[in-house]
A and B are shown apart, each in its own frame.
Chain A
Amino acid sequence: CSRSTEFPAKMTETREERRFAEVPRESIKLMAESAGVELGDDVAAMLAEDVCYRLREATQNSSQFMRHAKRRKLTVEDFNRALRWSNTETICGYGAQDALPFRPLKEGELFFVEDREVNLVELALATNIPKGCAETMVRVHVSYLDGKGNLEPQGTVPSAVQSLSDDLLKYYQQITRAILGEDPHLMKVALLDLQSNSKIAALLPYFVYVISGVKSVSHDLDQLNRLLHMVKSLVQNPYLYLGSYVRSLVSSVMYCILEPLAASINPLNDHWTLRDYAALLLSHIFWTHGDLVSGLYHQILLSLQKVLSDPVRPLCSHYGAVVGLHALGWKAVERVLYPHLPAYWANLQAVLDDYSVSNAQVKADGHKVYGAILVAVERLLKMKAVSLSASAEGGAAALQGSVGGMMGFRESSPGLSPPPEPLSEPPLGIASHLQAGGAGCQWEEWTPVSLPDMYCELYSFFGDSLAVRFSTGPALGGAPSATPIQSSDTRKEPGSGAANLESTRKMPQLTANMNISPRQDGSPRTEPAPPSLATAPGRLGGAPKRKKGGQSRDIFPKARFPPPQVGPPAFSFLIGGRQMGRRCQGRRFQTSFTPTPSLTSLPPRAYAHKLPVIGRVSKPVRRWTCSHYSLYLPL
């Protein structure tokens, strides 16, 4: 009897703390009735009182089990122990760790524990098997050193700057003020120091935090730029171990690359350069610190791909994705951009084909994207060729040479003739990521497209804009060949640069881009083709060459095949510069590649036919040369 009334009794006990639990005699009578006993009022009252007392006693006894278990919470378990030790049957079914909520029922002033029905079948067949209890373990933690240490609770992370030493704090304030301030000279000094200071490890989290503020200054290109420079300095500091902060830095940089920044609304703002720079920075972070975070490469590629495949995103985001991929190396382009191109092309085409005035701005953006893609795939082609030849020859040296050559070219005048120069900025140069890109990308199973096939497909998109040419192998240094080649794809440039029919609004962008020193902004897109690839003279048989040459006669009208002095002739690609937003040095690339399958199966140039409409190929060839020359004027 007493057992069954315990719950209501406990209820009242918790409700009124001052007074003790009182089980109403009605309850007792009810219980008795349900057991088939008729009780008088007085008996019920006495029983009720006794029940209350016994309950109190049991509760008091149970509290000692709680105390010895060193808990604050009295559990059903404790109560049951008290009952058991007083030779009373224990109450089963309430052993849950969580508090059981009592629910009142208004009508009857009844309280009960919610007890839902459990569908055992569902439970048994449920796929989400509940996790088992984690294993009990002991972990040690040095809480207080010499009785001092942090007075904060164990396990908390320092939350604010004040736990730093005063000197560091001052340094931090000075540096951030200098970098984000107005004075460019101060900024330079601060960045240099940040790049070389060996004692700022403790400040890293704070700097990373500041950098993560990119999201709040997306309207201010200047600030974004400064923050990116801060990233660069931190990344280049040889004394810093970035650890998991790499992820945070990468996300900040990715933000600059991909997000439709508030600053992009005004077409006068050159956010393109920012994206270029951020992309370069991204590749740099990745190639130098990518090993700190597993799966980083994969993640970056995925997010880039996601942006690229999202047609709702603005074109500037797409542009970011393309330059990002480009910066991550040709393999990334091959893996993500290339397969995606057919699908994307349609969208881009639609934009580019729209000549309405309202679309002018979008169209201009579209051209930027177009240009970026072109650069990316061009390098893809040439690097693929290089890798093929390199693998054929084991020519790491060749690759190196080519890289050096590229750099050298970039630094030199656009005359395309300078001799190779060593990299002046090795870590930031594209060289590193190109190299690593060759080695570092490992995707699971992915069937590579053969170079010629790829070329064919790309050509079908870009037509002659795809300025990859054959030229005579050994005469690399002799850039003259480049001159005519440039023309094929630089048509655009003169159009916009001089008397652009399409839109004058495009102009500022272009000029802005051109003003940036390639070295400073490090845009991958400005990276010129190496004039002198050290690729050894092709050792390929003449047949494929010839075939190729013959096949693509119209494609590469300027290709010549003079017999190289070193035995078999080598192919050399020449890549024309991009029109929009780029300096238009012609880029020449020389390599040899494996025998191509017959190119007779060249797909109809469905896309390429359209391109003239966009304003690429339709220009008279004569003007190409002119445009080419004009391009060099500004420089």
Chain B
Amino acid sequence: MTRLAVSAPGEKMAAVQDGGSEPEGEKEPQPELPSDGSSAPAATPASKPEEQQQQQQQTLLAVLQFLKRNKLIESVDALRREAGLADEPDEAPGSEAGGGVGGAAAGSADSADASALLSRVAGAAQSGAASAPAKGGEDQPDVSVVLSAYSQQGDPSLYQVYYSGLKKFIESVLDCHRAELSQLFYPLFVHMYLELVYNNHESEAKAFFEKFSGDQECYYQDDLRVLSGLTKKEHMKGNETLLDFRTSKFVLRISRDSYQLLKRHLQERQNNQIWNIIQEHLYIDIFDGMPRSKSQIDSMSGSLAGEARREANKAKVFYGLLKEPEIEVPLDDEDEEAENEEGKPKKKKPKKDSMGSKSKKQDPNAPQQNRIPLPELKDSDKLDKIMYMKEATKRIRLGPETLPSICFYTFLNVYQGLTAVDFTDDSSLIAGGFADSTVRVWSVTPKKLRKVKSAADLSLIDKESDDVLERIMDEKTASESKILYGHSGPVYGVSFSPDRNYLLSSSEDGTVRLWSLQTFTCLVAYKGHNYPVWDTQFSPYGYYFVSGGHDRVARLWATDHYQPLRMFAGHLGDITCTRFHPNSNYVATGSADRTIRLWDVLNGHCVRVFTGHKGPIHSLAFSPNGKYLASGSTDGRVLLWDLGHGLMIGELKGHTDTVYALKFSRDGEILASGSMDNTVRLWDAFKAFDDVETDDFTAATGHIHLPDNSQELLLGTYLTKATPVIHLHFTRRNLLLAAGSYNSQ
């Protein structure tokens, strides 16, 4: 049995580090993979006894390839002579194309091998430029893997018989098992179809597809559409969706009873074809206990690679909030000042830090304060915190009875060009990313935006004066908005730094840019993604930021490093949105593979994989207490997740189009969702979290019964006028701000 290379993030990371060690051609009937990223894969190509030697050879090959790509012909010759390597690997014309893969259409003239390389590279390319040698190294073995993966097959005409036989069996079993075993249909169908295509049985493949595609769950429609277009072996190379199928094992969760039933059936029938596929391409996660119901299964399935393995969600997540630094807050500034003027001693001041009582106790679920190094608070940050707390005292407590007021910021005259919006935390600035590569910043308050004076003018300023911060600003540049030019493609993500000094923008041009909001110029362009960067976000503590894009890798950066600090690899599709956990120790990413992953910033491990969405995920939001995560996708549903237990705990149905914006109110009582369907909906988050019974059993199995209470949780639906809602923000006093561009068509 051939096990395909890889998808666990750890493995990918490994691939980046030591290219040749990527497992390949591994013939090990090992049903379970080590949990994500926790260990390097055991690469044991059983067919070749001398693993060590082979690896060396691969490394050599990789180096050769790299040299060749860089046109270092002499070195190539020299190396080959020294290594005594006679056989030159196949010329790979695709090597140039290697830089531009990712869904690339390779020329039909490409040789099979080259295309295989191409597709393989597409799979591995996400590791970034650093993995270039690795790709070369993986090239040769991988081709054989792909070949072998689909080469052993029986009579193509029997495929329909096999499949319908299994179908008949599953339909005949007891109801409780039927739902579970039905999960097999989709992956089996896909793999059988691909085998047929791969072996050039085009007509059989078509017939097979015609006959059984209708049986598949409706939420796989998108994938089926891709599949149906694919009828040639040549096309399989370079097709991302297919690559995902081949490179990842489809995960099914089946109770032991059901599994036994299936196994017995297949053994009785001597149905090796199906058994082989199950062994090769499926990962069956067997659990003890009651089989799950159809609705339970449906709620969790839908992702590109099946459900998450149970092990994937076992790691401990420190979801608690960090202890707030103790800041001496002069409460009631006005009164206090007045009193002080009257001669009262200011004895109250030191006592009155409102954070004190709350933050004295360390949250047991919170990470160590210094688990990841955080920037120290500057004076201005402390001032801002004080402002924040003052505002917080005036905050409206929201609930089902007291819903927030909504202000809508409408972008006019954008000609369908608005792609991203962000507000500063204090709601004083609004930034928009546009399809015309610009980033625009507006001041929402009467305070205009000013640039810092030029260097020559700055030297004239009296640096000792009290109002030096005011003096350095150039009054002549005051304006309501500023335009930031620099990107060369649509800007898909913008994010303000918490201190409002910086702005991040990510663009189709593959860069993330850091802008200064003092000078309104670009400070850094972070390069590394090479493909469109769909989203970026600052850490709530500043300094760090995360970005994710088409290359399926999320990257963690620090503003003062031009290279990423961490690379979070593991998604099988584009990373469409990225969010920092409120305690800055975790990063959540949503992907086009219809999963959400939570990554540990400290070690880069994937600590949670959430499946259940039926479409690409376009919005994420952490609850203010850090315990929960909400996610919205193109299917219009919002799902709620418990991070600590790794469980889905709610499903909010109501939107009819992609949910592009999610935000919890400041106290976490209300969840606001904004969608392409021109509505803002408010949900009773408190009730949603409260209703969930998380006993040990559900926590252990992850099988939760979702109450279908969307209608009870929905507190209000608010229409806009032909304006899709693409961003939501709660002010510090819990006023809801929404933003979108008016779409007159």
Give the B-binding residues of A (Cβ under 8 A): 20, 46-47, 49-50, 52-54, 56-58, 60-61, 64-65, 67-73, 75, 77, 81-82, 85-88, 97, 133-149, 151-156
Report yes or no: A154 in contact with B403, Cβ–Cβ below 8 A. Answer: no
CB distance from A58 to the nearest CB of B (A): 7
Evaluate contact between B405 and A68: CB separation under 8 angstroms. Answer: no
CB pair A54 B412 closer than 8 Å: no
B83-117 interface mask toward A, CB cutoff 8 Å, 1 = contact, 0 = none? Answer: 00000000000000100101111001000000000
B402 x A146 contact (CB < 8 A): yes
Stretch touching chain A among B222-230, B268-276, B280-288, B561-569: B222-230
Interface string of B404-420 (1 = CB under 8 A from A): 11111111111111110
Minimum Cβ distance to chain B for residue A279 (Å):
43
- Residues on B with C-beta less than 8 A from A140 are 407-410, 444
> Can you spell out 19 A-B residue pairs with CB atoms less than 8 angstroms apart?
A20-B228, A46-B108, A54-B105, A57-B103, A68-B532, A71-B416, A85-B531, A138-B442, A138-B481, A138-B739, A141-B410, A143-B408, A143-B720, A144-B405, A146-B403, A147-B718, A154-B410, A154-B721, A155-B721
A147 and B716 within 8 A (CB): yes
Contact B419 A69 (CB under 8 A): yes
Q: Give the interface SS of chain B, mostly helix, strand, loop or mixed.
A: loop
Known: A46-B108, A145-B405. 19 other contacts (CB 8 A): A53-B231, A53-B232, A64-B574, A64-B616, A67-B658, A68-B534, A70-B419, A71-B416, A73-B416, A137-B413, A137-B481, A139-B412, A141-B410, A143-B720, A146-B403, A146-B404, A146-B405, A147-B718, A153-B721
Given A64-B592, A67-B616, A136-B413, A142:B407 Cβ within 8 A: yes
Main secondary structure of the interface of A (DSSP, over half): mixed
State the Cβ distance, B542 to closest chain A Cβ, in Å. 25
Q: Is B719 an interface residue (CB 8 A)?
A: yes
> B435 in the interface, Cβ–Cβ < 8 Å?
yes
Nearest residue (CB) in B for A75 is B416
Chain B 711-725 interface 0/1 with A at a Cβ cutoff of 8 Å (1 = within): 000011011111110
Q: Contact at B430–A138, with CB atoms within 8 Å?
A: yes
Contact (Cβ within 8 A) A138 B100: no
Partner of A65, one of B239, B508, B726: B508
Q: Are B104 and A86 in contact (CB under 8 A)?
A: yes
| Cβ contacts under 8 Å, B723 to chain A | 154
Residue B628 CB within 8 A of the other chain: no
- With most chain A CB atoms within 10 A of its CB, the pick from B108, B230, B715 is B108
CA distance A81 to B232 in the complex (A): 25
Are the C-beta atoms of A137 and B405 separated by less than 8 Å? no
- Kindly provide the distance from the CB of B618 to the nearest chain A CB, expressed in whole angstroms: 7
Q: Judging by beta carbons under 8 Å apart, are A143 and B406 in contact?
A: yes
Contact of A144 among B103, B406, B444, B532 (CB under 8 A): B406
Q: B490 contacts which chain A residues (CB < 8 A)? A: 65, 68-69
Interface residue from A75, A139, A154 paired with B720 (Cβ < 8 Å): A154
Confirm or deny: B235 has a beta carbon within 8 angstroms of a beta carbon on chain A. Answer: yes
Complex Cα distance, B738 from A137, in Å, reads: 15
In Å, the complex CA distance between A81 and B534 comes to 14
Report yes or no: A47 in contact with B416, Cβ–Cβ below 8 A.
no
Check if B682 is an interface residue, CB within 8 A of chain A: yes
Q: Which residues of A contact B193 (CB under 8 A)?
A: none
Rounded to whole angstroms, the CA-CA distance of A153 and B740 in the bound complex is: 14
* Interface hits, B591-638 → A, CB 8 Å: 592, 616, 618, 634
Given A61-B103, A136-B413, CB of A81 within 8 Å of CB of B440: no
Q: How far is the CA of A58 from the CA of B481 in the complex (A)?
A: 37
Q: Which of B471-522 contact A (CB under 8 A)?
A: 481, 489-490, 492, 508
Q: Which residues 629-664 in B have Cβ within 8 Å of A in the complex?
A: 634, 657-658, 660
Nearest CB of B to A47, in Å: 7
Task: Report the separation of the CA atoms of residues A70 and B592 in the bound assembly, to the nearest whole angstrom.
Answer: 15
Decide if A136 touches B411 in the complex (CB within 8 Å). Answer: yes
Q: How far is the CB of B126 from chain A (nearest CB, A)?
A: 14
Complex formed: what's the CA distance from A70 to B657 in Å?
11
CB distance from B620 to the nearest CB of A (A): 15
B209-254 contacts to A (CB < 8 Å): 226, 228-232, 234-235, 239
Residue pair A70, B410 in contact (C-beta under 8 Å): no
* A58 close to B105 (CB less than 8 A): yes
Report the Cα distance A429→B274, complex, angstroms.
101
Q: Is B589 an interface residue (CB 8 A)?
A: no
Q: How far is the CA of A50 from the CA of B418 in the complex (A)?
A: 35
Residues of B within 8 A of A87 (CB): 97, 100, 104
Contact B634 A67 (CB under 8 A): yes
B723 CB, nearest partner CB in chain A, Å: 7
List residues of chain A with CB within 8 A of the CB of B715. Answer: 147
Flag if A53 contacts B103 (CB, 8 Å).
no
B411 and A138 form a contact (CB under 8 A): yes
A136 to B414, CA, bound (A): 6
Q: Is the Cβ of B226 less than 8 Å from the Cβ of A60? A: yes
With A65-B508, A86-B103 known as contacts, the answer to whether A20 contacts B407 (CB < 8 A) is: no
Nearest CB on B from A597, distance (A) = 61
* 8 residue pairs, one from A and one from B, having the closest CB atoms: A147-B403, A86-B104, A87-B100, A153-B721, A134-B413, A144-B406, A154-B721, A54-B105
Name the distance in Å between A2's Cβ and chain B's nearest Cβ: 9
Contact A143 B415, beta carbon cutoff 8 Å: no
Closest to B226 in A: A60
